[in-house]
């Protein structure tokens, strides 16, 4: 099983420790950072799936940080947790950071835990979808290349028992096809 790592970014240490307590019973690896820059460093070295970020922080704001995350690590699910209840902050977070959830301080513990849990689920689901898509794309490309070399070969024939009937291709010809095909892939 891949590890579920959560990153909390807030410039107030007591907020970070309070949030860590919220997730004490959940099977997550919890990382924390006091600033966006520190958060970026943690992202470089660890496989984080979900981020909870404050909005008002010195230097880089939460929505700026989350839009950077969106640009560099689009798969990470982003949640904003802010004491600053302005419509502008919410707009920036959704439009630039494409956040998954927006919460106000003081937070509701249950709501926050539930949101983080579904954020992890969303991460895993989207990862699975991406993997499937790349498999499908690769198969489609492979088939197309083979079909170009050998028209008709991708139409599978079955015998009575359901076994696949393959045309016989001389070894030399097969080698030729394979090497051409490998060149095409490069």
Give the residues lining the site for other proteins (CB under 8 A). 85-87, 90-91, 93-95, 98-104, 115, 129, 132-133, 136, 157-162, 165
CB of 13 to other proteins, least distance (A): 26
Q: Is the Cβ of residue 13 or residue 114 nearer to other proteins in the bound state?
A: 114
Looking at beta carbons only, is 33 or 119 nearer to other proteins? 119
The SS3 assignment for 8 reads strand
CB of 180 to other proteins, least distance (A): 27
Taking the complex as a whole, how short is the minimal distance between the CB of residue 26 and other proteins, in angstroms?
Answer: 20
Residue number with CB closer to other proteins (132 or 169): 132
Orientation of helix 109-149 relative to helix 13-22, angle to 10°: 80
Q: Give me the residues paired with residue 164 across strands.
A: 158
Q: What DSSP line would sit under 111-148, residue for residue?
A: HHHHHHHHHHHHHHHHHHHHHHHHHHHHHHHHHHHHHH
Q: In the complex with other proteins, which residue's Cβ is closer, 69 or 90?
A: 90
Minimal distance, residue 48 CB to other proteins, in Å: 21
Closest CA to 50 of 82, 73, 21: 73
**Cβ closest to other proteins, residue 136 vs residue 174:** 136
CB-based contact 33:11 (threshold 8 Å)? no
What gap in Å lies between CA 20 and CA 26, rounded to an integer?
A: 10
Give the shortest CB-142-to-other proteins separation in angstroms. 15
């Amino acid at each position: 099983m891949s590890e579920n790592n959560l990153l909390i970014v807030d410039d107030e240490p007591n907020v970070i420790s309070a949030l860590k307590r919220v997730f004490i019973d959940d099977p997550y690896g919890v990382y924390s950072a006091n600033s966006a820059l520190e958060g970026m460093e943690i992202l470089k070295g660890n496989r984080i799936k979900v981020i909870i970020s404050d909005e008002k922080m010195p230097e880089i704001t939460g929505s700026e940080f989350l839009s950077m995350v969106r640009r560099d690590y689009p798969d990470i699910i982003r949640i904003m947790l802010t004491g600053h209840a302005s419509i502008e902050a919410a707009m920036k977070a959704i439009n630039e950071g494409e956040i998954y959830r927006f919460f106000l301080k003081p937070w509701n513990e249950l709501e926050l835990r539930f949101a983080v849990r579904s954020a992890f689920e969303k991460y895993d689901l989207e990862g699975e979808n991406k993997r499937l898509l790349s498999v499908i794309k690769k198969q489609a490309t492979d088939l197309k290349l083979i079909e170009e070399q050998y028209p008709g070969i991708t139409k599978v024939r079955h015998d009575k028992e359901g076994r696949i009937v393959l045309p016989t291709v001389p070894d030399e010809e097969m080698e030729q096809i394979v090497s051409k095909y490998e060149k095409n892939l490069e």
